Amino acid sequence: MSKKDEVQEEVPERGSWANKTEFILSCAGYAIGIGNVWRFPYLCYRNGGGAFLIPYLLMLFLCGIPLFFMECCMGQFGGTGCITMFRMSPLFKGAGFAIVIVNLICTMYYNVIIAYPLLFISMSLRSKLPWEDCDNPWNTPSCLKIGDIRSTNKTSQIEGLLEKVSTPAEEFFSRHILQLSPGIHEMGGIVWPLFICNLISWIIVFLCICNGVKSVGKVVYFTATFPFVILFILLIRGVTLPGAIDGILFYITPKWTHLANLRVWADAAVQIFFSLGPGWGGIVNMASYNKFRNDNRMDAIWIPILNCGTSIFAGFVVFSVLGFMSHRTGLPVAAVATGGPSLAFETYPEALTMLPFPQVWSILFFAMLYFLGMDSCFVQIEAIISSVTDAYPHLRKKKHLVAMVSMFVLFLGSIVFVTNGGMYLLQLFDWYAASISVISICLAEVIVVGWTYGCDNFVRDVEFMLGKKLNPWWPICWKYITPTILTFIFITTIIFNTRITYNGVQYPDWAVGIGWCSALVSMLCIPGYALYFLIKKKGTLREKLKIGFNPTSEWGPQKQTDREDWKKYLAENTKTCDSSNVEIIKLTSL
């Protein structure tokens, strides 16, 4: 046995899912998040109701599913995480670093978002929900219980009144939960109740992922299925309320003229893209723990379809209750329909106060939000940890320590988001750090698969892995259709980018500059590393590019038996194979 083989034997194995169900539930939990509840329903009604489903489903099949399947195959074939997977085309390794940076930034504030439901749950244990009326110390003279608005008869007067007053739920969230400062220029001090919930959330997440896929695979049996149970319960309750049908009709009635608006198509593409979560490393990382011969084709189709179905289903849950709220207050549904955090933490909680036993419904709703967010958090953090242990395999023996140190650092970084001005900063990073940078990463991935590594080579590898031929539709998407749609998303995201505000407060120029820096710090990793690679390598530019485009000797199946079978398969099926050195397989040429 050679010294090289002895060293390889000393490196602990990465581990794998105990069964296929764990992978499917983890992917479903990752893809189906808070955005399915607070973003899609509002986007759907705003962009033409039922008509919005046409561009939405088109983008699902032309971009969402092909990207999801591509990342599943990249992870499963390479058996490695988001940085080391770019061994298939090392010039683009900077995209792997970009993935880690995006996850580092976004995980810090995302965990704070799922800390909000914990605080709401604790407040829901009281005999009376604290956002039911305006008799609390944090309420202002402009607070008006929305149920009292019905005494005003004219709709125009009601809508004018809403602009001047705030509801108990709005003041509870902004003045008690967030203890919001006047603007981002006043960050203030730590909001201690929120700090404690944030700490508790980090501890829960650590306990769930400390053993890697072994523990995550068991936890997701509950965390990925429980939200569906609650959604179904909330739907049954919602549709039995007076006015629910009006809300649902408002949600699904198609407005066909909206399809002529480019913004509608852009919103559909963006929603599919960010809902499924490609470009974050999560899909690649989860797939890397699959058995090498796992047939993932149907997984990559049904999980995105389940994600979209959940979004549509959540719309019925939301708008049935908003219809009831409209019925109770006399307001039109459009006046009470909101999206984003306002829907989850202001509008929907306000509607829950109008139900019998509101504490029960409040606990169910916020528990659902917490578990929806927690699954996404699992995968993002695991992607960060795996990128470290894949780069330094000897650390796999100390994965508990790596997880603890990583999450402690992330916790420290998240503290800034639980200050008085934390929500302003959270919105800023969510607006910039997780937008065009993630699209850039996906563009890098499809360029690698479709053009530098070569689509024919990638298809050959996948067919070897699955033992079955791929439908010609997949390479067509990877090479032409999906890159075109990603370019469309990138351009429209910039074109339709508006000045960021929160609660009507416009961000100053210096804050916008920080936001763009948070996007550029990850995006610039891609060209930055490529430049570093070309400078470091010796030879002519043509020779350097050839090395950068071709896979390294480490690319391929990680298990030795699979790797040997793959090399034999390459020798039989690849004319460009360098027979003098089977470790380095030249798959592309300039």
Please provide the DSSP assignment of 24-68 as one string.
Answer: HHHHHHHHS-THHHHTHHHHHHHTTGGGGHHHHHHHIIIIIHHHH
**Number of helices and strands in the chain (H, E):** 31, 2
Could you give the CA distance from residue 495 to residue 235 in angstroms, rounded to a whole number? 37
What is residue 254's DSSP assignment? Answer: -
Which residue type occupies 561? T
Buried-exposed string 520-530: b where 16+ CB fall within 10 A, e elsewhere: eebbbbbeebb
Alpha-carbon span 139 to 568, nearest angstrom = 73
> Encoding tokens for residue 24?
């499917």
Q: Which DSSP helix (H) or strand (E) runs through 506?
A: strand 505-506
* CA dist., res. 170 & res. 209, Å (int): 35
In sign, the C-alpha dihedral spanning 440, 47, 38, 496 is positive
Write the CB contacts of 293 (distance below 8 Å, at least 6 apart in sequence).
465, 466, 467
Contacts of 277 (CB under 8 A, 6+ apart): 30, 31, 33, 283, 376, 379
User: Can you say which residues are annotated as belonging to the binding site for Na(+)?
Assistant: 29, 31, 36, 275, 307, 372, 375-376
Residues near 212 by beta carbon (within 8 Å), at least 6 away in sequence: 15, 382, 385, 386, 399, 403
For the beta carbon of residue 467, count every other beta carbon within 10 angstroms.
Answer: 8
Three-state SS string across 535-574, please? HHCCCCHHHHHHHHHCCCCCCCCCCHHHHHHHHHHHHHHC
Rg for the chain, CA atoms, rounded: 25
Q: How far apart are CA 40 and CA 60, in angstroms?
A: 14
What lies within 8 Å, CB to CB, of 136 at 6+ separation is 130, 168, 172, 176
- Which amino acid would we find at residue 162? L
Which residues are annotated binding-site positions? 29, 31, 36, 275, 307, 372, 375-376
| Length of the chain counted residue by residue | 590
User: Do residues 166 and 489 lie in contact, with contact meaning Cβ atoms separated by under 8 Å?
Assistant: no
Alpha-carbon distance of 316 to 458, in angstroms, equals 41
Torsion of CA 120, 213, 100, 426, to 10 degrees: 0
CA distances to 124, 171, 465, 503 from 176, rounded to whole Å, are 14, 7, 54, 16
Contacts of 329 (CB under 8 A, 6+ apart): 146, 147, 149, 150, 158, 336
